[in-house]
Structure formats: structure tokens, C-alpha cells
Copies of this chain bind each other. A is one copy, B any other.
């Protein structure tokens, strides 16, 4: 089953938690507030650190600017390090300002486009202070009605804006461009698919990569194919993990289609996208609208770990033999044998050997942390979308 080699490889796994996962979130219909939700970046970091403390899987916290804007990033960094976590990817945000109603990096108005570019310069300044490697750009840009704007001119303006931002990226930094099939623009998104993200980053240079958010595809899309392709092309920069049934539901990774997550992680392993030298960042990008935030994140990182273990379990030699023989059922069965293996006991052992709780969900419930933050974090404004 799970041998020491696999356990050792699993020990290198790093999953970045998004600071915004700990704040309130919701749909356009309603945001349900939760007790104990953080009111500032430090409280978000504390919560993220709790997830790491119980799982050993999440030593990085991704930031969102301006949501996580502080006066002193060096101090925030020390604060995080005291909690045993690093500050990770810096995510820009050009979707919550009235100026961006018709776009940001693609806008026809040079003033607004420059404002959006300047925001990314600010983000790079933050990265310099936090030691973050990656600037991740997700754009809400697009149009709602046919004819509303010139699709192609927007693409050209995007290329120009990205060029300016890329020129500021440091030698050890990367620009990672995320694509999304739909929403919040309804007729067209300016970066709707991996092809667009890839052609845009290809025009920039070697430090530009693509971010694949598992929830950002058309129904029926074979996501693991895209993973394999981007790894083949050397441009898979990072994952935004989550899962979804229909749209950008941002549910717990692996909760909607665990077999899909297995297939994705298999292609990651197959394409040398797993491990410290791969350059592929694993991040969560999820909402916990109705479930509690911290155990929601714990469940999520455990799901990624469990499925990575299954992906590592695939007997690739046997698989290659069956594939080369055209043995469809045999190859499929070898592949599925790994998926149907119950890796949970072995991972509980793995945790215990590392001084971690065998069952992090129960350990969290028993820790009193939830009760503590619910008691302490009263007053002030809860963090949330836009906060």
C-alpha cells in the first residue's frame, strides 16, 4: 500500500491557504455572518496557522490586496513566522472598486487602466516586503452584452498592461495569470480559458505562468488534460483548488467529484508537478458560506493530501504495460485500484509519527479554539468579501 517513499514525498507537500477563506463569504443573495470570524489580517493568519498546526500541511498564507493591506508588511511577516507560517502568493484585486465597472487592465480609459497597473505595482512592493514569490492576477474583466465593447481591442490592451506589470517583476518573482470561464462578466470574460492565459504569458517571458482554478471551466471540460498540457508546456504556475457542481461554487476541494481530483493529481505526479522543485504552487481558493471556516480548511487540506497519496499509489509500471498492450479494462483497473484504496489509516499514522493529531477534525473540535475566537472576536468589523 503506502510505502515509506510515498510517505516521504507526502512530507514535502505544501498547501497555501487563502486569507479570505477565514472571512465571511456568500452568494449574491446573502452573506451569512459567522461568530469568531477574523477582523484583520493578523487574526486570519492566526486561524491559518491553526490549520497548519493540526495538519502539518499548510505552512503558507496567501494574501489579497487590498483586503490584507497593512501599514507594516515586515511586521506582518514576523507575526506570521512566529506562528510558524510564511506569507505566500500576493493576489491583486481589481474587482471591488467602482472605477472597474467596465474593466481594469483591459479598460478603454487610459486613466483607469493605469490605476489598475499601479495597483499591481503596489502588489509587487508588498511582495518585496513579504518575500512572496508569486503575483497572482485574476481579472473580473469582461462584458455583459454583445457589442458592449471591442473584444479584440481589450485583448490587446490586456497584453500591454501585463507587459508593464511584468517589467517590474523581480528575478526571483513570478507573474501568474488565472483564467475563468464565466462570471462576474456574463457575455465574455477577457481571460476565459487556458489558451488565452497561455498566449498572454507566453508573450511576457519565462517568469510568467498560468494559474488553474479547478472551478473555472465549462461543464464537461477534462481538467486533468489541461494540467498535463500546461505541465508539458512548462507553464503551470499554480492551482487554485476548490470544487463545484455547477458554477464557481467554491466548495471544499474534492467534495463534488473526488475522482476528478484524483485524476488531476495523478497528472500532476505524472508530469513532475509535485514536489518542492516543481514550481507548481498548491493553493486553496474556496468559500465556506455555511460551514465553519477553520474546520472547512482542515477538511480541504486533508482532502488534497489523501488524494495526493492515492495519486502516488498508482502502479505506473503496471499501468504503462497495460496501456501499451491496449488493455483498456486492465489499465483502467490499475488506475482505479489506487483511487479505491483507503489511505486514511496510513495518513493517521503518518501524522502521529510527526507529533500531529491522528484526526485533525476531532482535534480542532476538542481544542477549544473555536470557542475562544467566538468569545474574543466581538466588536470590530468582520473580514469578508470586500473587507
Q: Do B146 and A232 touch across chains, with their CB atoms under 8 A apart?
A: no
Q: Do B187 and A222 touch across chains, with their CB atoms under 8 A apart?
A: yes
Nearest to A95 among chain B residues (CB) is B29
Q: How far is the CB of A97 from chain B (nearest CB, A)?
A: 8
| Chain B residues with CB under 8 A of A225 | 151, 188, 192
Q: CB within 8 Å of B: which of A318-374?
A: 319-320, 323-324, 326, 328-329, 331-336, 339-342, 344, 361
In the complex, A252 has a CB within 8 A of chain B: yes
Nearest to A336 among chain B residues (CB) is B147
Q: CB within 8 Å of B: which of A200-225?
A: 217-222, 224-225
In the complex, A228 has a CB within 8 A of chain B: yes
Nearest to A310 among chain B residues (CB) is B340
Nearest to A328 among chain B residues (CB) is B291
Nearest to A337 among chain B residues (CB) is B344
| Chain B residues with CB under 8 A of A296 | 329
Cα distance A247–B44 when bound, in Å? 32
Q: Do A329 and B361 touch across chains, with their CB atoms under 8 A apart?
A: yes
| Chain B residues with CB under 8 A of A33 | 98
Q: Do B218 and A220 touch across chains, with their CB atoms under 8 A apart?
A: yes
In the complex, A263 has a CB within 8 A of chain B: yes
| Chain B residues with CB under 8 A of A217 | 218
Q: Do A192 and B258 touch across chains, with their CB atoms under 8 A apart?
A: no
Q: Do B385 and A255 touch across chains, with their CB atoms under 8 A apart?
A: no
Instruction: Point out the residue from B102, B182, B259 that lies within 8 Å of A326, measured CB to CB.
Output: B102
| Chain B residues with CB under 8 A of A319 | 147
| Chain B residues with CB under 8 A of A292 | 328-329
Q: Do B341 and A252 touch across chains, with their CB atoms under 8 A apart?
A: no
A contacts, CB < 8 Å to B: 25-30, 32-33, 95-96, 98, 100-102, 108, 140, 144-152, 155-156, 181-184, 186-189, 192-196, 198-199, 217-222, 224-226, 228-229, 231-233, 244-247, 249, 251-252, 255-260, 263, 267, 270-271, 289-292, 295-296, 299, 306, 319-320, 323-324, 326, 328-329, 331-336, 339-342, 344, 361, 385-386
